[in-house]
Structure 1
Amino acid sequence: MRVPSRSPGPQPGPAIAYTASGRRLPSATDRRPAAGAPDLAAYRAAVAELLVEVGALADAPSTTARQVLLDQRLREPAIAAVLDATPQGFVGARETLLLEMARYQPNARNSVHDLTALVRIYLLSRIDLMWWRDTSAFLTDKQVDTNVDLVDLEWLRRRGLLAFRYQEQPTTLAGRGWRAVRRRMLPDATPHTAGLRFRRARREVVALLNDIGREFASATPPATPPLWVTSLARSAEYQYRLRSLGYAAMLPSGHCLGWAADLELAWFHRFGARDALAELLLARQEAGEVNVVDEGQTWHVCLAPAARLRFRRAYEAEMGV
């Protein structure tokens, strides 16, 4: 079967300027990859080209051609350099992607609507793992609940120290029933999400989300709801539970390292604010502050190691510690 052209077709409009007040946009020299480090701009561009080809081979009869395509394209230097720098290495990352594609089954719970989305989410989220490859993952729920590097969001929320909102997953039958009734009565009052299983996050991630929340508030009309966070730190144990329920929970994952968060975007359409949030996040990615992965209803955001110290200091300043 013929492998389609690699041309990505027309490209989107001009790059988004990073204009947050009081913040410095790194120069082109600042964003240049360090000696020996993978070029993330080249990686993202190569992944975008690959996705065009995967989309042309998304039907079931194209399984063999799709595998040949991936074997070829993943070995390209821009892509191979990132995959090789992850804890799994190139071979492990490639094999995991092929297994994910082989087991993929679309369902109503899955934010991954097709194979193209699966490949996009998997490959772009490998940047998280490359960045934080020396960080130990939270293997069990208990590790997330007790780790001293994570802080309790509820304690901060009650003191008015958060610039974003979230809701917790109900843990009782009565709680789940009340959530269902509330959704029927007020279907658009909150995002359609299960909520946080763990309301804990790294201090630097809290400061990042506060910073994004404040910028989002200043860029949108006063009636716009605050930034909404749908997921933070997770355990590998919890990821496996999600997978057993049909969700496309990636493993390994930046969530299990504590450096990633998911932000609601689709819900903000009704307030005319979705694009503003998307532009804000992409500008921060361009500035080298975060990695961003479009997952449809939510966008996955991971803090870059280069920004860790700045946001740790910001957290300490905000919290007075």
Structure 2
Amino acid sequence: MRVPSRSPGQRPGFSVTPAAPTRRRAFATPTRPAAPDLDAYRAAVADLLVEVGALAGESCTSARQMLIDDRLREPAIASVLEATPQGPVGARETLLLEMARYQPNARSSAADLTALVRIYLLSRIDVMWWRDAPTFLTDAQVDASPELVDLEWLRRRDLLRFRYTEQPRTLLGRGTRAVRRRLLPAATPRTAGLRFRRARREVVALLNDIARQFAASTPPGTPSLWVTSLVRSAEHQHRLRRLGYAAMVPSGHCLGWAVDVEMEWFDRFGVRDTLAELLLARQRTGEVNVVDEGQAWHVCLAPAARRRLRRAYEAEMGV
């Protein structure tokens, strides 16, 4: 049996006038806005910090506000702030409020107004990267989240290459910590310790990788990489703010993608600069964002590195 062709073609004995070509509606291909130039952003922030430092006096409040108003509109800075949930207007208002409320104290990582501006603006890169990530709102959410793993479980199985200490939860624990610090004041970093000993799997892989590289780059006997803060709830972040810490809101810590790494303590071993260069080298590759917060440096994982580090974690842990 002959099967008719699906092609219209010309049938014998008939004259067929070719149909007019069908007009197709043109659809514009949506284009994503270009990713902000983070090198240009960091350079613009550095220039702004010089000017903020020159206007540090109490009589310069109006001049500082005018400076912030002007410089946050620059394309290099505005491109990042526009990509955050707050937008440039919200970021400006938050920064000015932080500056107005600023009171130097021993707990805060912001030693002065310049440091406060640096910490706030550079940490906006974290918020831009993870703007769609859900926030851990409460302590209970951190404790129950399946996205986080228990560091103590990993440590007991010798699967961590970095060190940490937990916050004492009892009066006896705090007393023991105080006695140990008096007897051995430089044995460990001076830190309150982790409120939550939990972390994302990718962050564990990142810290293990940095710790191995740090160990390979320093003399024998150098202490391991020390982590002073990991994931936090928004509830805990506000608790820290009430205590005087420069805990920014929103924060990469409350999304689970940021950590703080001890720096100052490693000065006594002559390896602080080594660790700083390792972290900055990873920033140059786009793997992390780094913020100098004095005693500790804030490090946030970039979304582009998430898949590689998740695979690294699974391979290392035998998952």
Alignment TM-score > 0.5, same fold: yes
> In the aligned structure 2, how far is the partner of 1:240 from the partner of 1:258?
16
Question: After the TM superposition, which segments of 4 or more aligned residues of structure 1 sit over 6 Å from their partners?
Answer: none
> In the aligned structure 2, how far is the partner of 1:300 from the partner of 1:93?
19
Deviation string, structure 1 residues 7-46 (Cα, Å, up to 9, x no partner): xxxxxxxxxxxxxxxxxxxxxxxxxxx9611100000000
Which of 259, 262, 272 in structure 2 is aligned with 1:261?
Answer: 259
Partner of 1:131: 129
The TM-score, its normalising length taken from structure 1, stands at 0.89
Which of 105, 108, 121 in structure 2 is aligned with 1:107?
Answer: 105
Residue correspondences, number: 288
Say if 2:85 is the partner of 1:65. Answer: no
Letter in 2 for 1:268: F
Letter in 2 for 1:207: A
Partner of 2:92: 94
> In the aligned structure 2, how far is the partner of 1:149 from the partner of 1:109?
30
Partner of 1:20: none
Which of 178, 181, 192 in structure 1 is aligned with 2:179?
Answer: 181
Q: Sequence identity of aligned pairs in percent?
A: 79
Say if 2:288 is the partner of 1:290. Answer: yes
Deviation string, structure 1 residues 113-152 (Cα, Å, up to 9, x no partner): 1000000000000000000000010010000111000000
Partner of 2:158: 160
RMSD across aligned positions (CA): 0.7
> In the aligned structure 2, how far is the partner of 1:244 from the partner of 1:134?
27
Classify the secondary structure of the residue corresponding to 2:194.
coil
- Note the C-alpha offset of 1:286: 0.3
The TM-score, its normalising length taken from structure 2, stands at 0.90
Deviation string, structure 1 residues 143-184 (Cα, Å, up to 9, x no partner): 011100000000000000001000000000000000000000
Q: Which has the larger radius of gyration?
A: 2
- Note the C-alpha offset of 1:93: 0.8
> In the aligned structure 2, how far is the partner of 1:141 from the partner of 1:68?
39
> In the aligned structure 2, how far is the partner of 1:262 from the partner of 1:248?
13
Classify the secondary structure of the residue corresponding to 2:165.
coil
Letter in 1 for 2:311: R
- Note the C-alpha offset of 1:109: 1.1
Partner of 1:38: 36
> In the aligned structure 2, how far is the partner of 1:111 from the partner of 1:301?
14
List alignment gaps of at least 5 residues for structure 1: 1-33
Letter in 1 for 2:185: P
> In the aligned structure 2, how far is the partner of 1:224 from the partner of 1:244?
36
Which of 233, 244, 247 in structure 1 is aligned with 2:245?
Answer: 247
Deviation string, structure 1 residues 205-258 (Cα, Å, up to 9, x no partner): 000000000000000011100000000000010011111111111110000000
> In the aligned structure 2, how far is the partner of 1:258 from the partner of 1:47?
25
